Amino acid sequence: MSKEKVFTDANFKAEVLEAKQPVLVDFWAEWCGPCRMLAPVVERITEANHGKIIVGKMNVDENQETPQKYGIQGIPTLLFFKNGNVVRQIVGYQSQENIQNVIHEVAQS
């Protein structure tokens, strides 16, 4: 079972911005109800897309520099990176199907 990565302010550049594959970053917090609802969806996304996209989570309470840099105001927020740039953003809870559709678009672009 593949587990999503844990992104931090310290590893963000190497793990996300310099990644060879597209990257999905789930910005979340422990106290956020919709974030907890989204967590199993993100786990299934990780499983379903192993080898196609890197999936990871960033706790906004423990890492404040990166969320601030990308203007994260509401959580959960999913940012899709390709070649070091944000190419798509989803704010709030979404179904696995909706997220999967965005992954497909990002992978094709």
Please pick, among 16, 35, 58, 60, the residue that the annotation labels catalytic: 35
Please tell me which residue in 8, 15, 19, 32 is annotated as part of the active site: 32
* Euclidean distance between CA atoms 71 and 27, whole angstroms: 11
- Contact assessment for residue 21 and residue 50, using Cβ atoms and an 8 Å cutoff: no
Residue 17 known to be catalytic: no
Give catalytic status of residue 35 as yes or no.
Answer: yes
* Cα–Cα distance measured from residue 105 to residue 69, given in angstroms and rounded to the nearest whole number: 24
Catalytic residues: 32, 35
